[in-house]
């Protein structure tokens, strides 16, 4: 059990190398909430909250997460001895919702425990894959030819899955152009971020022609029944992302037949313990699973890579190298990808497996709150 001494919340701002366009809006920079946790026995660990600036993707924002962490979640945890496995239960007893804020706190506890044991986080989680395949998510473009150029570049860099963001009116034409350009063998996926309705069956069914490995979150996050009806009409496997926040959502997905694949994002589902429960449930139920990304820095990436080393994460994760998003990351070494599209899991290094660039974070910090027990 960890005896927590203090937490420091920091907000930094990083500019993306290029704007990222999805159905929820355009992102040109990221306001990022970092959490630094200290234990009484002298260990330190960092984590990252994936909440975005605006509530276009989820109910939480960086500002709601900050308030929840400072005023409600951190005081509960600082008064209790807990490890990563038990943090969700401790916090659930006091606070409803706020899974992204909860995840930041929970993941810091796992990292702290790894530091105390001088073990890698991946080892602590029970990871088995020494290297994990990497996919990339490409934002929407104004014309197909620009998208095709970007896809070609990613194929050349070795990515093992190319995911295209789509939305009504920006779908079939773009997917057709990309498939035509890259040929039938490149694994392509699309992600609609819940922007279609049950009335869009024809256009969604037309995507079957392109041999996609998945159609991610076509309908509203609350629409399990709609996804089930759609899956019965499609050859392409449906992957649920926003619809799945807990293992109970996966149970409902299985009962309904609402899809065959789950995108597990630890920062979105309340942390690593819940993400691992979801991994196990998918394995028992024959669902495929993979680890998604939320435009994290190298700190959040470390947690995603460790999680992705679990055995049933068999599809490529959104684990792009640091250089895809940032001119310079806040960890050393930066995360890199091999030319055949894999990231090495740092089993041989303790904790997150990367050093935190504290000076750079100090320089980037826009605000901070310190909470001590
Ligand atoms: Mg998604």
- Determine the angle formed by the axes of helices 298-308 and 99-117, rounding to 10 degrees: 80
**Residues 330 and 280 occupy one common structural domain:** yes
Q: Is residue 351 part of a domain?
A: no
CA of 126 to the centre of ligand 1 (A): 25
List pLDDT tens digits, range 260-284: 999 999 999 999 999 999 999 999 9
How much is the pLDDT for 254?
97
Q: Is residue 350 part of a domain?
A: no
How much is the pLDDT for 88?
83
What's the mean per-residue pLDDT of the chain?
95
CB of 84 closer than 8 Å to CB of 307: no
Rounded to whole angstroms, how far apart are CA atoms 46 and 36? 5
Helices (H), 286-329: 298-308, 322-325
Q: Is residue 330 part of a domain?
A: yes
List pLDDT tens digits, range 105-140: 999 999 999 999 999 999 999 999 999 999 999 999
Q: Is residue 349 part of a domain?
A: no
Which has the higher per-residue pLDDT, 84 or 157?
157
How much is the pLDDT for 92?
85
Q: What's the CATH number where 132 sits? A: 3.20.20.120
Q: What is the pTM of this model?
A: 0.95
**Residues 109 and 191 occupy one common structural domain:** no
CA of 141 to the centre of ligand 1 (A): 17
Closest CA to 35 of 76, 3, 80, 74: 74
CA of 360 to the centre of ligand 1 (A): 30
From 5, 17, 161, 265, the catalytic residue: 265
Mean pLDDT within 302-307 = 98
Closest CA to 147 of 128, 130, 169, 162: 162
Q: Is residue 144 part of a domain?
A: yes
CA of 136 to the centre of ligand 1 (A): 12
Give catalytic status of residue 265 as yes or no: yes
Give catalytic status of residue 165 as yes or no: yes
From 5, 17, 161, 165, the catalytic residue: 165
Structural domain tally of the chain? 2
Q: What's the CATH number where 27 sits? A: 3.30.390.10
**Token digits of residue 174:** 């773009």
């Amino acid at each position: 059990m960890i005896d927590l001494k203090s937490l420091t919340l920091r907000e930094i701002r990083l500019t993306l190398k290029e704007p990222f366009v999805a159905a929820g809006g355009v992102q040109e920079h990221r306001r990022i909430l970092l959490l630094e946790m200290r234990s009484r026995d002298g260990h330190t660990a960092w984590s990252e909250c994936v909440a975005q600036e605006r509530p276009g993707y989820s109910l939480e924002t960086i500002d709601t997460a900050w308030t929840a962490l400072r005023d409600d979640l951190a005081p509960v945890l600082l008064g209790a001895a807990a490890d990563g496995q038990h943090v969700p239960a401790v916090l659930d007893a006091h606070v409803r919702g706020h899974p992204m804020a909860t995840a930041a706190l929970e993941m810091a506890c796992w990292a702290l425990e790894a530091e105390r044991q001088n073990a890698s986080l991946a080892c602590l989680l029970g990871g088995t894959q020494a290297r994990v395949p990497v996919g990339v998510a490409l934002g929407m473009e104004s014309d197909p030819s620009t998208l095709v150029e970007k896809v070609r570049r990613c194929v050349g860099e070795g990515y093992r899955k190319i995911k295209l963001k789509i939305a009504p009116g920006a779908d079939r034409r773009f997917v057709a152009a990309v498939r035509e350009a890259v040929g039938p063998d490149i694994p392509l996926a699309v992600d609609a971020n819940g922007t279609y309705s049950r009335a869009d069956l024809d256009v969604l069914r037309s995507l079957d022609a392109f041999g996609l490995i998945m159609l991610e979150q076509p309908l509203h996050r609350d629409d399990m029944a709609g996804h089930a009806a759609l899956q019965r009409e499609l050859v392409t496997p449906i992957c649920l992302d926003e619809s799945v926040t807990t293992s109970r959502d996966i149970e409902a997905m299985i009962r309904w037949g609402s899809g065959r694949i789950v995108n597990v994002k630890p920062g979105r589902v309340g942390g690593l313990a819940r993400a691992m429960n979801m991994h196990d449930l998918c394995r028992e139920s024959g669902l495929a699973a993979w680890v998604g990304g939320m435009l994290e820095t190298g700190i959040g990436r470390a947690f995603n890579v460790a999680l992705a080393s679990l055995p049933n994460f068999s599809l490529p994760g959104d684990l792009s190298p640091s250089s895809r998003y940032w001119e310079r990351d806040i960890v050393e070494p930066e995360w890199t990808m091999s030319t055949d599209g894999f990231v090495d899991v740092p089993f041989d290094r303790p904790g997150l497996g990367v050093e935190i660039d504290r000076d750079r974070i100090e320089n980037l910090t826009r605000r901070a709150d310190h909470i001590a027990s």
